[in-house]
Amino acid sequence: MNNAPLLDTQCDKAIRASFLHFIADPDTSHQAWEYIEDGLLILNKGRVVALGEMSEWLDQLPDGIELTDYSGKLIMPGFFDTHTHYPQTDMIASYGAQLLEWLEKYTFPTEGRFSDRSLADSAADFFCEQLLRNGTTTAGVFATIHPESVDAIFAAAQKRDMCLVSGKVMMDRNAPAFICDTAESSYEDSVTLIQRWHQKGRARYAVTPRFAPTSSEQQLEVAGTLLREYPGLYLQSHVAENHDEVAWVAKLFPQRRSYLDVYDHYRLLGERSIYAHCIHLDEADRVRMSESGAAIAFCPTSNLFLGSGLFSLDDARQHDIRIGIATDVGGGTSFSILQTLNEAYKVCQMAGQSLSPMKAFYLATLGGARSMYLDSQLGNFEPGKEADFVVLDLAATALMKRRMALAESIEDQLFALMMLGDDRCVAATHIMGLCLYSRN
């Protein structure tokens, strides 16, 4: 980036570190990223003013500016977790089942407890702290069917000024009564929550039908109606995760060409629609994902843990579909985006595909922002963007220190980081410029 004189610019904070951010997708650009080994990030009121070389700016900094020195650490834009479930935090790592049995045995009973606001508040606070501890600053988050659970997660995010996308789960069939709503109540509750939270500060509301098997046709209609009535809403759901699930959807909706076509029929495919998994899609489905502007949330730890299958990153790339990386806690087994990239790499290896470190960290930052349609305000350090960022310690463990000593390039360092790193590597996480988490 060009280092223009700083002297006349309003700024209140400067941060010294190494910096890496993406300006474009490494798949399509040879100059997709910028790395500054000894850099300075200048902020004003929580937004980026400029990013440049330390040597050029050190003697120009305005008097009284707050300088934070993270020399020796690597700063990146905060990570995006494009699909996760905060109520499932307490049942993460539950043994021995694939999707449909896992939902019945662990998920529904756990989610049933979230009518209790104080339990929801405590889980939401813990969840947000876990995000920050892992350098995740933006997430697409499922609540439960209970409106209280949505209030709890948005309140927890608001306290920290975090940009979260969330919404009330809609499900009115094929699940125990204690975890079901109705088409009518899901409409009324969603409207109340949209009016209370959508676009209040950094909160964004997502219409959240759990997945096609647990919504009646009438409820899927309601989801489409909400999207049309309130512009700017998100839509989040699950699709084509597991073979038994796909077969079940074919039985429930015999008139639809495919699982994805069920959602398409109810006009639930478009910009700001985020679909988790997308493992068992076909060519026509991928064309629809691409042309509609919907995004895939790639959930490798969940897909391996639940034995769901291997997502084909190359098929999605070939169709130029928006892709984000996602933990899918608690089907997923880690809050760490670094560990999620590790598993993503291995999923690609199993299919003879490759996930380069630069592509991986693009997916975790600018790619995530693009898949959530937040790239005009987040995802890199362009001037004017909101200063959510993670401070990474690449020598957090003895093993990493040894491995990094031999790393020959920033690519090599990043690859070792995503394979060996986890929350121990997160030295600090900043939201709108403020340090909200510090390892020490």
Q: What are phi and psi of 301, to 5 degrees?
A: -65, -35
Nearer to ligand GUN, 87 or 135 (CB): 87
Number of residues that bind Zn ion (CB under 5 A): 2
Which listed residue (57, 106, 197, 211) binds ligand GUN by CB under 6 A? 211
Q: How far is the CB of 211 from ligand GUN (least distance, A)?
A: 4
Q: How far is the CB of 123 from ligand GUN (least distance, A)?
A: 15
Q: How far is the CB of 125 from ligand GUN (least distance, A)?
A: 21
* Binding flag, residue 328, ligand GUN (CB under 6 A): yes
For residues 341, 398, 133, 26, the Cα torsion angle rounded to the nearest 10 degrees is -30
Q: How many CB atoms lie within 10 A of CB 38?
A: 14
Q: How far is the CB of 31 from ligand GUN (least distance, A)?
A: 37
Q: Is the preceding peptide bond at 293 cis, omega within 30 degrees of 0? A: no
What's the full length of the chain, in residues?
A: 440
CA atoms within 13 A on the CB side of 33: 24
Binding partner selected for residue 107 from ligand GUN, Zn ion, none, CB under the kind-specific 5 to 8 Å limit: ligand GUN
Structure tokens of 85? 């479930």
- Residues 221-260: x where in contact with Zn ion by CB under 5 A, - otherwise, as a string: ----------------------------------------
Q: How far is the CB of 328 from ligand GUN (least distance, A)?
A: 5
Report the distance separating Cα 279 and Cα 245, nearest Å: 12
Using CB positions, name the residue nearest to ligand GUN: 331
Which listed residue (107, 130, 236, 429) binds ligand GUN by CB under 6 A? 107
* Binding flag, residue 210, ligand GUN (CB under 6 A): yes
Nearer to ligand GUN, 21 or 83 (CB): 83
Give the sign of the dihedral formed by CA 418, CA 425, CA 372, CA 309.
Answer: positive
Listing DSSP states for 48-109 in one string gives EEEEEEHHHHGGGPPTT-EEEEEEEEEEEEPEEEEEEEGGGGGG-S--S--HHHHIIIIIHH
Number of residues that bind ligand GUN (CB under 6 A): 11
Applying the rule CB under 6 A, the residues between 331 and 360 that interact with ligand GUN are 331
Nearer to ligand GUN, 50 or 103 (CB): 103
Nearer to ligand GUN, 128 or 306 (CB): 306
Choices 53-61, 131-139, 327-335, 400-408; region in contact with Zn ion by CB under 5 A: 327-335
Burial of 7 (0-12, 13-18, 19+ CB in 10 A): exposed
* Binding flag, residue 81, Zn ion (CB under 5 A): no
State whether residue 177 is helix, strand or coil: helix
Nearer to Zn ion, 79 or 305 (CB): 305
Q: How far is the CB of 298 from ligand GUN (least distance, A)?
A: 12
Amino acid identity at 79: F
Report the distance separating Cα 393 and Cα 75, nearest Å: 9
Nearer to ligand GUN, 77 or 167 (CB): 167
Nearest CA to 43 out of 87, 6, 94, 89 is that of: 6
Q: What are phi and psi of 268, to 5 degrees?
A: -105, 15
Q: How far is the CB of 301 from ligand GUN (least distance, A)?
A: 10
Which residues neighbour 258 within 8 Å (Cβ) at sequence distance 6 or greater?
281, 282, 284, 285
Nearer to ligand GUN, 99 or 390 (CB): 99
Listing DSSP states for 238-298 in one string gives EES--HHHHHHHHHH-TTSSSHHHHHHHTT--STTEEEEE--S--HHHHHHHHHHT-EEEE
* Binding flag, residue 328, Zn ion (CB under 5 A): yes
* Binding flag, residue 111, Zn ion (CB under 5 A): no
Applying the rule CB under 5 A, the residues between 269 and 298 that interact with Zn ion are 276
Nearer to Zn ion, 81 or 422 (CB): 81
Which residues neighbour 214 within 8 Å (Cβ) at sequence distance 6 or greater?
171, 172, 173, 174, 175, 180
Which listed residue (13, 85, 168, 198) binds ligand GUN by CB under 6 A? 85
Q: How far is the CB of 397 from ligand GUN (least distance, A)?
A: 30
Listing DSSP states for 304-354 in one string gives HHTT-----HHHHHHTT-EEEE---BTTBS-S-HHHHHHHHHHHHHHTT--
Choices 22-30, 99-107, 172-180, 222-230; region in contact with ligand GUN by CB under 6 A: 99-107
Which listed residue (73, 146, 238, 286) binds ligand GUN by CB under 6 A? 238
Residue numbers at the binding site for ligand GUN (CB under 6 A) = 85, 99, 103, 107, 210-211, 238, 241, 302, 328, 331
Residue numbers at the binding site for Zn ion (CB under 5 A) = 276, 328
